[in-house]
Amino acid sequence: MVELEIGLVGLGIAIIGSGIAIAGSGIGQGISASAAVGATAEKPETFGKNMVFAVLPETQAIYGLLIAILMMVGMGVI
């Protein structure tokens, strides 16, 4: 029973941690993507390079996901 509770708390923490990382990444991407859209409208040929800057903050969401998976693996949830 106690183990199950610890497991659920751990799962909750993993979800919250992943959520914070994803939300932060989303905010960052919103800022950089709006600038990238502006730059692409001015110079369409720079699309590829603008996309690089727009998607950089996205990596933090992936870290969040990874840590969540690692936590769940560590706790035996998956």
Choice between 8 and 66, CB closer to another protein: 66
Q: Nearest CA to 62 among 16, 14, 21, 11?
A: 21
Q: Give least dist CB 62 to another protein, A.
A: 5
Q: Which stretch binds another protein (CB under 8 A): 6-14, 24-32, 64-72?
A: 64-72
Compute the distance between CA of residue 15 and CA of residue 10 in angstroms, rounded to an integer: 9
Compute the distance between CA of residue 54 and CA of residue 43 in angstroms, rounded to an integer: 15
Site size toward another protein (CB under 8 A) is 16
Q: How many Å is the Cα radius of gyration of the chain?
A: 18
Which spans of this chain sit near another protein (rule: CB under 8 A)? 47-49, 51-52, 55-56, 58-59, 62-63, 65-66, 69, 73, 78
